[in-house]
Amino acid sequence: EPGIVVVGAGQAGFQVAASLREGGYRGPLAMVGDEPALPYQRPPLSKAYLAGKTDAEGLALRPATFFADHDIARHAASPAAAIDRDQRRLHLAGGASLPYAHLVLATGARNRPLPVPGADLAGVHQLRGLADADGLKAALAEGPRIVVVGAGFIGLEFAAVAAGRGLAVTVVEAADRPMARAVSADTAAFFRGAQEAMGVRFAFAAGVTEILGREGRVRAVALADGRELDADLVVIGIGVVPNAELAAAAGLPAADGVRVDAFLATPDPAISALGDCARFPSPYAHGLPGDGTVRIESVQNAIDQGRCLAARLTGKPAAYTALPWFWSDQGPHKLQIAGLSAPGDMAVIRGEGSAFSVFRFRDGHLRAVESVNRAGDHMIARRLITAGIPLTPDQAADPGLDLKTLAL
Ligand code: FAD
């Protein structure tokens, strides 16, 4: 009897499977994943795991017994190769195929490759999965000079861990500040300073033209301005591309993510998609550039979409409207973001020093809040934005106003 087949055994795939059982789904349930490990958390890969503060077992979302106890069939290290929508069968690369009544695409994203000569030299790493993290951990012992390409969240988290070990880290970034697409200039400036205080050096407005090697191993990174940065190890962190090819090859719309509606459904009623691979309409995209759809790479999004989709598949359909939120740990500093911002949003600062929040307004409404070492603000911000509680820029900046009283 065909049941529900989930492709991708990451955060979102795991969540939809677990929530289906929790929601009373009793039919056949299978997870098809291309990695060998039990479904695990990725955030610690660039934080506690890389720093040696937790092991692989500590990353697992559930122990193996959970899947047996909940009758979830795990097909691990078993990439899905094609979807036959007419026959409703998922073909695996190994040759087997699984029938489905409903197919869930939770294939995540993969790192964007750096399109320069030398990117395939030994000593050039990326960080997406457990295997990458293990390779990188071992490589940290290979030499003291590290170049990170890309000052996004993962590059900066890695830089903080490596600098904390006393390694010489230079971060090369095409924009003029870190996390340029994701946070305000104020938050970016704070993290630049914080990273520099940890010993990290930056090269901003810098383009990598080539990775130079010697006997097949990296020795330096060449920049467009002629500089060469010596490197024993290079880590590329320039963003991701969604794994949407499976959907596209099956004729589903999949431009920059598998296209789904507010219910996470593709145009094929037997196929849904969620998590990092999915592009969906968000009520929080109001006033953002684009067509009102977003693709969000976060644990919150994977978990909340997993719950939303499982609810629909167990007879309780609801549009996905959860507020996006996110965190990043860099050395001793914690950044938390609630909502979605755009580079042009107005920025109002509350707090000072190394504990502050930046309230972002767009079209006169509070749209996002970046909190740096101010967890209280983050929780209140989530409530204010979700409930649409009016807040003016003056109120946001007023230290005498207790925001909690508004959020009640
Ligand atoms: P994934 O977790 O990537 O899972 C997708 C799975 O599908 C993968 O195992 C993939 O290999 C598999 N797959 C792909 N194609 C196929 C196929 N054809 N057949 C079978 N399997 C397939 N988010 C935060 O909110 N906070 C953080 O601090 C944070 N830190 C991060 C640090 C790192 C190093 C990384 C990599 C990510 C981090 N994220 C963080 C992002 C977060 O981990 C992702 O948003 C989340 O994992 C998305 O879940 P997902 O299930 O959509 O994708």
pLDDT tens-digit map of 349-388? 999 999 999 999 999 999 999 999 999 999 999 999 999 9
Mean pLDDT over all residues of the chain?
97
Q: Whose CA is nearest to atom 32 of ligand 1?
A: 43
Residues 6+ apart with CB under 8 A from 373: 333, 334, 354, 355, 356
Residue 369 contacts residue 357 (beta carbons within 8 Å): yes
Burial of 53 by CB count in 10 Å (0-12 exposed, 13-18 middle, 19+ buried)? exposed
Rounded Cα gap, residues 300 and 308, in angstroms:
12
CA of 108 to the centre of ligand 1 (A): 5
Q: State whether the Cα torsion 42-43-49-50 is positive or negative.
A: positive
Question: Could you report the per-residue pLDDT of 32-51, keeping only the tens digit for each?
Answer: 999 999 999 999 999 999 99
What does the block give as tokens for 68?
């047996």
- Residue range 79-107: mean pLDDT, rounded: 98
- Residue range 401-408: mean pLDDT, rounded: 90
Rounded Cα gap, residues 315 and 229, in angstroms:
57
Residue 1 has pLDDT above 90, yes or no: no
- Residue range 260-289: mean pLDDT, rounded: 97
What does the block give as tokens for 172?
């090369």
Residue 11 has pLDDT above 90, yes or no: yes
CATH superfamily membership of 3-110+240-313? FAD/NAD(P)-binding domain (3.50.50.60)
Higher confidence at residue 305 or residue 142? 305
- Residue range 118-137: mean pLDDT, rounded: 97
Looking at 3.20.20.80, 3.50.50.60, 3.40.50.300, 3.20.20.100, the CATH number of the domain 113-236 comes to 3.50.50.60
Question: Could you report the per-residue pLDDT of 291-338, keeping only the tens digit for each?
Answer: 999 999 999 999 999 999 999 999 999 999 999 999 999 999 999 999
Contacts by 382-386, CB closer than 8 A, 24 or more apart: 382/323, 382/325, 382/338, 383/407, 385/284, 385/323, 385/338, 385/339, 386/323
Question: Could you report the per-residue pLDDT of 153-163, keeping only the tens digit for each?
Answer: 999 999 999 99
Q: Whose CA is nearest to atom 38 of ligand 1?
A: 43
The binding-site residues of ligand 1, defined as CB within 6 angstroms of any ligand atom, are 7-13, 32-35, 42-43, 45-46, 79-80, 106-108, 127-128, 154, 243, 246, 275-277, 297-300, 302, 326-328
Q: Whose CA is nearest to atom 36 of ligand 1?
A: 128
**CATH assignment of 332-407?**
3.30.390.30
Task: Name the DSSP letter for residue 54.
Answer: S
Q: Give the residue extent of every domain in the chain.
A: 3-110+240-313, 113-236, 332-407
pLDDT of the residue at 408? 77
> How far, rounded to the nearest angstrom, does the alpha carbon of residue 112 sit from its chain's CA centroid?
13
Residue 29 contacts residue 1 (beta carbons within 8 Å): no
pLDDT of the residue at 141? 85
> How far, rounded to the nearest angstrom, does the alpha carbon of residue 301 sit from its chain's CA centroid?
9
pLDDT of the residue at 142? 80
pLDDT of the residue at 403? 94
pLDDT of the residue at 130? 97
ipTM of this predicted structure: 0.99
Going by their DSSP bridges, the two strands 233-236 and 228-230 should be labelled as unpaired
Coil, helix or strand for 386? helix
Q: Which atom of ligand 1 is least distant from the CA of 240?
A: 36
Rounded Cα gap, residues 154 and 182, in angstroms:
12
What does the block give as tokens for 32?
């098809």
pLDDT of the residue at 134? 96
Rounded Cα gap, residues 117 and 397, in angstroms:
48
Residues 6+ apart with CB under 8 A from 77: 33, 34, 35, 36
Q: Percent of the chain at pLDDT above 90?
A: 98
Question: Could you report the per-residue pLDDT of 175-234, keeping only the tens digit for each?
Answer: 999 999 999 999 999 999 999 999 999 999 999 999 999 999 999 999 999 999 999 999
DSSP 143-161: -SEEEEE--SHHHHHHHHH
CA of 350 to the centre of ligand 1 (A): 33
Question: Could you report the per-residue pLDDT of 24-36, keeping only the tens digit for each?
Answer: 999 999 999 999 9
- Residue range 78-100: mean pLDDT, rounded: 98
CA of 403 to the centre of ligand 1 (A): 34
CA of 276 to the centre of ligand 1 (A): 7
CA of 214 to the centre of ligand 1 (A): 33
- Residue range 399-407: mean pLDDT, rounded: 92
DSSP 213-258: EETTEEEEEEETTS-EEE-SEEEE---EEE--HHHHHTT---TTSE
The closest alpha carbon to 49, from 136, 122, 147, belongs to 136
**Amino acid identity for residue 111 in this structure:** N
Q: Answer whether 113-236 and 332-407 agree in fold.
A: no
